């Protein structure tokens, strides 16, 4: 697939209003739209923003609070590609260029990302088209940083909330490795679900806690 270049003039115009670059349909998403918005790529499903470049603020804030610059990080795993916001934030905001495995089940999203990836993040990010549960069960590495960012619109699929999956996350962390598990927290129903899930999360990660951000909770755990 031929790479697409975004001009400086397009980026300028995107500060005046969102520019729709692509609209696709996939077996997993009836509608996905890619915008250029405020100079960054924004991937939107029917009910949620999946990725927003350097404006994916909850991960920016989480990385800042957790002082990622002070940690020794070599290998990362990102579950849920979005449009590459997490590796982009690490590289561009924090100066951390990791060897990163990214897992995404939707080949349509991967194909779209590959058209623009040279403007998103470095070639050190490798994308695997796979189910996140299955990939993690046979994970080829242990990771210093794992970011769990899988959604179906607003909802984390049930398979990624099960104790078995959480235990696989724990096994995939290297000693001292850090897990960030993203969840929306917009409505009272979200908050109740997050509080219940935090209890389950602590069965596997007893010292786990929630970073309570504006519209998200990011659950955090660190391997011994």
Do the beta carbons of residue 200 and residue 43 sit within 8 Å?
no
How many separate domains does the chain show?
Answer: 1
Lowest mean per-residue pLDDT among 57-61, 138-142, 148-152, 202-206: 138-142
- Residue 15 inside a domain? The answer is no
- Residue 29 inside a domain? The answer is no
- Residue 48 inside a domain? The answer is no
Q: Which residues contact 192 (CB under 8 A, 6 or more apart)?
A: none
Condensed to tens digits (0 to 9), the pLDDT of residues 33-91 reads 999 999 999 999 988 999 999 999 999 999 999 999 999 999 999 999 999 999 999 99
- Output the pLDDT for position 3: 80
- Residue 27 inside a domain? The answer is no
Gyration radius of the chain's alpha carbons: 17
Helix spans in 132-185 (H): 132-137, 163-172
- Residue 150 inside a domain? The answer is yes
Do the beta carbons of residue 129 and residue 104 sit within 8 Å?
yes
Condensed to tens digits (0 to 9), the pLDDT of residues 184-199 reads 999 999 999 999 999 9
Lowest mean per-residue pLDDT among 4-8, 21-25, 54-58, 159-163: 4-8
Segments forming the whole domain that contains residue 196: 54-222
Identify which of 193, 171, 173 has the alpha carbon closest to the alpha carbon of residue 184: 193
- Output the pLDDT for position 1: 60
- Output the pLDDT for position 41: 97
- Output the pLDDT for position 206: 98
- Residue 9 inside a domain? The answer is no
CATH of the domain at 186: 3.40.50.150
Question: Rounded mean pLDDT of 115-135?
Answer: 92
Q: Buried b vs exposed e over 198-221: b needs ≥16 C-beta within 10 Å?
A: beebeebbeebebbebeebbbbbb
Lowest mean per-residue pLDDT among 46-55, 114-123, 158-167, 203-212: 114-123
Task: Write down the mean pLDDT value for the chain.
Answer: 95
More confident site: 148 or 141: 148
Do the beta carbons of residue 177 and residue 222 sit within 8 Å?
yes
- Output the pLDDT for position 178: 98
- Residue 205 inside a domain? The answer is yes
Residue 97 binned pLDDT confidence (cut-offs 50, 70, 90): confident
Q: What is the largest CA-CA distance in the chain?
A: 51
Taking 80 as the threshold, does the pLDDT of residue 123 lie above it? no
- Percentage of the chain beyond pLDDT 70 is 99
- Residue 31 inside a domain? The answer is no
């Amino acid at each position: 697939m031929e790479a697409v270049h975004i001009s400086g003039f397009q980026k300028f115009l995107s500060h005046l209003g969102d520019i729709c670059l692509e609209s696709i349909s996939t077996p997993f998403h009836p509608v996905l739209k890619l915008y250029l918005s405020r100079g960054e790529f924004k991937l939107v499903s029917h009910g949620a923003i999946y990725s927003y470049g350097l404006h994916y603020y909850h991960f920016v804030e989480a990385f800042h609070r957790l002082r990622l610059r002070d940690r020794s990080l070599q290998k990362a795993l990102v579950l849920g590609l979005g449009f590459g916001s997490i590796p982009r934030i690490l590289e561009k905001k924090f100066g951390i260029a990791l060897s990163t495995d990214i897992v995404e089940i939707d080949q349509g999203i991967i194909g779209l990302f590959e058209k623009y990836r040279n403007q998103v993040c470095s070639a050190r990010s490798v994308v695997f088209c796979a189910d996140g549960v299955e990939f993690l069960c046979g994970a080829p590495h242990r990771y210093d940083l794992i970011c769990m960012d899988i959604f179906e619109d607003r909802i984390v699929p049930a398979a990624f909330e099960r104790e078995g999956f959480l235990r696989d996350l724990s096994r995939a962390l290297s000693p001292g490795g850090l897990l960030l598990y993203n969840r929306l927290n917009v409505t009272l129903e979200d908050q109740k679900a997050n509080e219940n899930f935090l209890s389950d999360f602590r069965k596997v990660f007893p010292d786990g806690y929630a970073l309570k951000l504006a519209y998200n909770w990011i659950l955090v755990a660190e391997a011994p």
